[in-house]
Structures are given as C-alpha cells and as structure tokens.
Amino acid sequence: MRGVLLETVSWTSAQSLMAEDLVVVVPVGAATKEHGPHLPLGTDFFVAEALRRELAQRVRVICLPVVNYGYYPAFVDWPGSVSVGPETFAHYVGDIVRSLARQGWRRFLVLNTGVSTTGPLDHMCRELASELGVRVAMTRELGAAIWAHLREEQAGTHAGESETSLMLAVRPDLVDMALAPCEVMTKPAPFETGRSRPPLATLYGPMVPGPHGPPDMITASGIHGDATLATPEKGRALLAAMVDDLVEVVEELARVPLPADTPPSAGDGPT
C-alpha cells in the first residue's frame, strides 16, 4: 500500500491510520533562502516536496507537509532569505511532533534538507526521544554514495552541481542555466568544505554578498560550487538514490522496538 500525505485525508482517516503504527515523516525545507541567481529561493522546499511525494509512492508511511521556514543564519544578508532563531525553530518542529505523539503516533523521521538546521534539529530529536518516549530519527547525507560517483565539481556545498541538478530534475521550469555560476568560497585548508576531504574544524560565519567581508566567506553569486556542471540526468539519479535511502530508513525505523516506557496516548484511560 502507498503512503499517505497527511493533509489529503480527514481526521477520521488519520485516526484509523494510527492503528498501523506507521512512521511519520516531518520534512524540513526552506521556501525563502537564496540559492544563487539561477535557482529559486524555494529550492530546498521543492526538493523536500519531491522527496516526500516520491517516498509516499514507495512505502507505507505518513508524510506531513513541508516545514518551510527554519534556521539559516548564513543567508540573512541576501534579499528574500528568511531565518528563524534556532530555539524558535526547534520548538516549532518539536511541537509538531509533540502534537502527534500526544495522539498516539510513536515513530518520527525528520527529513532535513538543510545544513545549519542540523544542530537545532539534532538537539530537538534527542530531547523529544527522552521526553516523549518515542522513536525519533533524522536524515543525514541522503544519496551520498551515488553522488560520489556522479560528482564532477572539485568543491561545493550550496547551490552548486548537486542542488542545481536536483532542481533540473524536480522543477526545471524554475532553473535558469544561462545564469548558473561557478564559484567556490576559499577558506584556510583546515576549514575547507565541500571537498573530498572533510574539514578538520568548522569556521562559522555568514555567506557575505559582494566584494566586502571576511575573505574566506565571500561569494558574489551566493553559491559554493560549480552549477555549470549540473544536468537533469544527474539530478534524476541523485533523487532516486535519496528516495532509496529514505525507503531503507523508514523500513528500518518501522521495525525498531518502541521504548518500554512509551506513555499512553491521550485517549487511553486506566486499565
């Protein structure tokens, strides 16, 4: 049986679905975050939306609507970009999980499409698992194994080859390859990101637009990578690999035993 997009069913249908003990997927993807001159502000949102719909076609799962605002402090100087404070963001997503856990749902997967969102979401997931006695997981590096073979750019983490390829597969009507840049932000060697060697430490700071700012964080175009190398074929292959990884995670999460001290649902009375 196919999965369910929660917004498409009634509350009575949702009630009947609870008996199946399904994994609930909470997708997170920015709808207003700069992705260079060639991609829309909603790139993360469109990718998250495609992933949840593809996932629902493959496995029995509950997919929530995409949480489309989040913690993206590196982009606040770019027109149209919106960032929500880390505590507010974590509480917001946490309350979504709390609402459903109160009703009796017990397995949750946060589908995270961001980087800066990882910290607040990681903290939230750990706290919720302890607080609610539920199973909570968060995605990491979906499709990485396939992308290692497809990738041609020497470095890149934002709006470069991978994200542009994904958008060419998901929403090609919103991609302008005539404007696709090739720009890699230069950092001191221990802090370099998006290369085959992981950084030894993280150097924090905003992605500064224009010619002014720290020399290690400037990007005139708003990207870090080579978007000119993107193709729809790469995007389709990466998307398929990401969905395969999601299916594997959902199926395993569905089999993980629930904590022994799982609290009763709101409707349960004394026995």
Q: At what angle do helices 232-255 and 161-170 cross, to 10 degrees?
A: 90
pLDDT, residue 215, reads 53
Residue from 68, 64, 66, 65 nearest 30 by CA:
68
Q: Which residues of the chain have pLDDT under 70?
A: 210-217, 261-271
The alpha carbon dihedral of 127, 91, 166, 221 has a sign of: negative
Q: Domains of the chain by range and CATH?
A: 4-11+18-255 (3.40.50.10310)
Q: Which residues make beta-bridge pairs with 112?
A: 28
Q: Where are the beta strands (DSSP E) in the chain?
A: 4-5, 23-28, 62-63, 107-112, 135-138, 182-183, 225-226
Q: Which pTM was predicted?
A: 0.91
Q: Are 4 and 63 in contact (CB under 8 A)?
A: yes
The per-residue b/e assignment along 105-128, b for 16 or more CB within 10 angstroms, e otherwise, is bbbbbbbbbbebbbebbeebbeeb
pLDDT tens for residues 177-233? 999 999 988 778 888 888 888 889 988 888 877 665 555 567 889 999 999 999 999
pLDDT, residue 269, reads 42
d(CA 150, CA 233): 10
Q: Are 54 and 94 in contact (CB under 8 A)?
A: no
Q: Are 78 and 34 in contact (CB under 8 A)?
A: yes
**Nearest-5° Cα angle at 27, 18 to 201:** 130
Tally of residues, the chain: 271
d(CA 5, CA 254): 17
